[in-house]
Copies of this chain bind each other. A is one copy, B any other.
Amino acid sequence: MRRKPTIRDVAAAAGVSRGTVSRVINGGHWVSPDAREAVEEAIRRTGYTANHAARSLATGRAGSLAFLLTEPQHLLFQDPTFALLLRGAAEALAQRSMTLVLLVAGTPAERANVAHFVSAGHVDGVLLISSHESDPLVDELLEAGVPTVCCGIPLGHEAQVPTVSVDEIASAREMTRYLRGRGHRRIAMIAGPHDTPGGKFRLVGFEEEMGDDFDPALVEEGDYSQESGALAMSRLLARTRDIDAVFAASDLMAAGAVTTLRKAGLRVPDDIAVAGFDDSGLADTHEPALTTMRQPWDRISDGMVSLLLEVIDGARPAPLMLPTTLVVRDSA
């Protein structure tokens, strides 16, 4: 087996210098048509492929981005949302001939490793997923000067780091308005963790839209997981049965709520309407299919990648806010 062809082999085959080959590869400016043609032909003939490592070494760029998950593990397993984002990001990067490196920072040991790895410059930037408030990891990344974009406005770090997000407040208001429009008045909310943007702002939107009808006794908090949704619903039911709709801050929690309601002998949506948030894969196969707010997952992951590349190029891009859409199905 002969070794892989290098840029010198191509240069020799094309009868030009390494420099010219390099120029052709990188856009081909200031190269004569003849030379360009010869080089392209030579590349084809030799089956040349650029060596990532060598290029990285010379340019000082890694050619890869990290997809950094900071959630506790059980969420990674359960939440289809992560898979959606992950796939979108991988696709967006593949289009740009870059690669996606998956990093999981669950345990403290993992966090240390990850921080070290990233600061060492093994990746050009970080796509930070779902960070809780005042996450020290964000500080570390910022301090180390690692280009970073967040998914969802990182509480406690607003304006310090570019973000891609949806308008949580407006989205929550829209869903609430929809539920009220269907005649529901005693609407409960199963919010997300109050130290996450989705937990905080969806609740704000809900409260704003409910106005005088807002009843703090009808709010419970979960951690986005199915189980936490089921438990939150139990707590609500234990307090009062005077509820005609539930708005959960994630589809997973909505599904958990449905389970609890069913056990309590309540029908969805006949007795109580249930709405979710995310439109994760689970929503439309769920029984009953969940009414939810769709987050534009592909645009989010694509936006994160674009933004991050801008940051890497030295820009300070404005935060990107994307629209959600109400998806009405059977549960509400």
Residues of A within 8 A of B (CB): 1, 4, 49-54, 56-57, 62, 64, 67, 73-74, 76-78, 80, 82-84, 86-87, 90-91, 94, 99-104, 110, 113, 116-117, 119-122, 145, 226-227, 256, 259, 262-263, 281-282, 285, 287
Contacts and interface: CB of A to CB of B under 8 A. Distances in A.
10 contacts: A51-B57, A52-B53, A76-B83, A86-B102, A91-B104, A94-B104, A99-B117, A101-B102, A227-B285, A259-B287
A211 to B, nearest CB: 35
The A contact surface, by secondary structure, is helix
Contact of A80 (B78, B84, B87, B101): B78
B1 A145 contact: yes
Contact of A4 (B80, B100, B121, B256): B121
Contact of A83 (B50, B52, B83): B83
Contacts of A50: 120
Contacts of A64: 101
A317 B63 CA distance: 33
A77 B84 contact: yes
A49 B120 CA distance: 6
B82 A94 contact: no
Integer count of this chain's copies in the complex: 2
B285 A226 contact: yes
Contact of A110 (B56, B94, B117): B94
A54 B83 CA distance: 32
Contacts of A226: 285
B101 A87 contact: no
Contacts of A84: 77
A147 B119 CA distance: 30
A121 B117 CA distance: 22
Chain A to chain B: the 6 pairs with minimum beta-carbon distance, closest first: A53-B56, A49-B120, A77-B281, A53-B57, A259-B287, A53-B53
Interface centre among A67, A104, A259 (most CB of B within 10 A): A104
Contacts of A119: 49
A67 B285 CA distance: 27
A5 to B, nearest CB: 11
Contacts of A103: 90, 94
Contacts of A99: 101, 117, 122
Contacts of A67: 102
Given A49-B120, A99-B101, A226-B285, A113 B94 contact: yes
Contacts of A113: 94
Nearest to A99: B101
A77 B67 CA distance: 17
Contacts of A87: 73, 76-77, 104
Contacts of A101: 64, 99-102
Nearest to A258: B287
Contact of A62 (B52, B62, B77, B282): B52
A74 B121 CA distance: 34
Contact of A77 (B54, B83, B227): B83
Contacts of A145: 1
